[in-house]
Structure 1
Amino acid sequence: MPTKAALSHIPGPPTPPIVGHTLTIARDSYGTQQDYIQRYGPVYKTNMLGVWRVNLCGPDALEMVLMDRERIFSSEGGWDALKRIYPGGLLLQDFDHHRRNRRIMTAAFRASAIRDYRLRMTEAMDSLLAAWPIGTPFCFYTAIKDLTLRMGGAVFMGLPLDGDLAKDVNRAIRDEIRASLAVIRHPLPFTPMWRGVRGRDFLRRTFRALIPERRANGGEDFFSQMCLARDENGQSWSEDEILDQFNLLIMAAHDTTATTLSVMIAALGEHPEWQAKLAHEVASLGKGELDEDALSKMTQTNNVFREALRLVPPVPFIPRLATRDFHWNGYDIPAGTSLALNPGVTMLSPELYTNPTKFDPNRFGPERVEDRSHKFAWTPFGGGAHKCIGMHFSTLQVKLFMATLLRKNRIHLPGRAPVWQRMPIPKPKGGLPIILERV
């Protein structure tokens, strides 16, 4: 890994002793990054948690690194902090190895499987939303994290919503997520990392015990589909590969969806005119099944979804590791350099979007299409070989939730719109209290 001296030609802010820029960026990650771009340009260095990183900013940098036409940039090396909890997941693989596993994973996301997942989600969502309080404030962020996690047990594993095994699995997933964000990266007793490693080991034992039955009898849940998945050449996964891939998948699906739905709910509470538009759109679908045809007609909801992802993307920064020397925007950057891409900051650029901090879903309408100002102007799902494989599933899940909720309820904010904590995983400070009222 290059030293500060090896990166001396890269501009950057003065470096505080010991902690570097960690606290400054943690306090106001977007504001700090925007300030650094103005002062030092689209290429600058920072020190986070003792690691020197070169930040490459803007849509051109996103295109160059994410498309990675010369196979220079390692996702595995960039996401090194996740290896302890999620070794072997698709996100932590590169090049031919990644391509092979992505092809197998694609089989679990085929159209017929997505239809089965939708049916499972519809049943689980109706049951879970019916238990939410009406007419009294509750913390939406906590509720939606619980809902997506419990629903995941049904959709991803085919488990009963409130069975004992589902509860144990959900507890282990929560422990893994906390560990992945922990500052202490070694499993010292009773630390989040220690609990996360124990949670991971429990999940691996649990998943491994299910594989023979799922391979023999199949099933309509994600896990069963992954046990049976084969690419176009008939290749499938070993048991260990299934465990690695599934463990990362359920974490990613749970946390990113909870964040995005929180942004959407806060926006609808703050902008009642948009809540009325979405409620009207849902009402126009009638009272029938929320099937693929019905969900495809939710264009206004889709624009709100896209705007929420632009304003508060669940993954605001994307790390990579340079495997070879390369030259970019006037700078020579040596092999071994940790890199940071900033899609969250890029999607707030006035060069790409009109009034970029304003909630304005119409920017995605056919008259404006501001997201097409550059191929990488809108990148909440990443891009290139590592573009989120669950993008369409996530869109379906969000539309299904909003339609189910707005068929019977309206959203009110008892206080001000939330302030967002951007790192390490975006979440509303204060938990986003809301009140639901029946209609």
Structure 2
Amino acid sequence: MEEPLSFYKVIAVLVVLGTICIGMCIRDIIRYQLRTIAGPMIALFASVHIYGYLIYPRAAKMPINEYRFDWEIYVQMGWALALILCLLIGLMLLKKLLMPKDLRFLMTSREIAPRPQLYQLGFFVTIVYTLFFLIRKRSAIGELLTIIRSGDYMWYYEVRVQNIFDHAQSNPILNNLDSLIVGNLLMFLVGVLYYIGFKYRKFFPYYHLLLAFALLTTLIRFQKSPILQLMLLICLAYFFGRQFSIRRGFRFIKPILLTGVFLIAVVAVYVVLGFSGNIVGELHNRLFLSSTLTSYAHFWTFPTHNGFLYYGGSRLFNLVLGFGQTPDLSLGLATPPLVSSYLYMGSMFNLNTSILGTAWAQNGYAGIFIETMLFFGCFVFWDIVFARKLKRYPYEPVVIFFLMQFLVVLNNGALSLIGKGFIVIPVLYLILFRPFSGGYGGGRPPMS
């Protein structure tokens, strides 16, 4: 199937816009010594989507006829991606304009200490609710132990598929609380404590207890990505806790070794979970091709085979605003990933994709404009606020929490700003901790 001329026009536009966008992000990362959220997140989104868009039509093991490939739809998706890149360039220009010119705030030693009563309350609520969560999920813990004893890790994937439907039909209030406290606050506290522990080279037993809780809660979700996120969280805590400076060339050995350790851990997770194929090829397809395939599925589905959803199927919006579910599917679960998987793939599962697909499914080009500005605008907002208004607060704990969830830019839409804690967690950080400039005697960390 020969590519039409319009495809090459889109490619030319994407390459130019992508080069500008990624170049601005690299400058942002170097200038702020990786203590930035917008630069890494936007660079990841732009590079993965452009690369995936270029190679997808010729990708091995993905015959285009099998996936109902249509050049007209694919070109339309390319123009939507070009719109996103234009908006991202605009956001990076806005950040450059509003960030302080004086970078001394990056060089000053900034410390944090807990606000005693609020921190203790937050820690107590996190521990108690996590225990409540584990009690509710005791059957999942039993299944996990049975899988480990049997060594049949394909069972792990079967349980994961069933959990998708169980989660979608469960109590939305409990789901949101699970996400806020177990998925976000627990992980954030682990990141903060280990950041401080690595910084002062001193750890206390309850640090490891919290990490054990986090590990158990990730394992019983029966997904690889939460496990990898937890490992990345610890790596980033070490990375920033040991005062890495991107301007000191000899210190690049640390991030290189750390990246190597993380990649080995990723391969180990695949091996332990029984993956028998080409792991490197699988990682390549999962990272670079999956986002393109899933986004294309959404463009194929909406609006030709199913009308735009206008957020009518959002469980979050239904809970808060009382919207009715769109009854297009037998289960009434009219979210973009489920509708696309049902109509495009022929079976219902969670066909997650980035804002390129989910925003289009909600409201076409208007949805893409709104979600891009909200989603990536949130990252730019926190970068600016902490650099201008909250200079005394170390930004590293927030950066660690955000970068830990880097896959969100490839797998989720703008509603993940709430579900992933991108709005709530920085606010809780300001509530639970205060800036401290007195220094800690003897290198003793504050949370002792």
Fold conserved between structures, TM > 0.5 = no
**TM-score w.r.t. length of structure 2:** 0.30
Greater RCO, 1 or 2 (C-alpha within 8 Å, sep 6+): 2
Of Structure 1 and Structure 2, which has the larger fraction of its residues in helix? Answer: 2
Of Structure 1 and Structure 2, which has the larger fraction of its residues in strand? Answer: 1
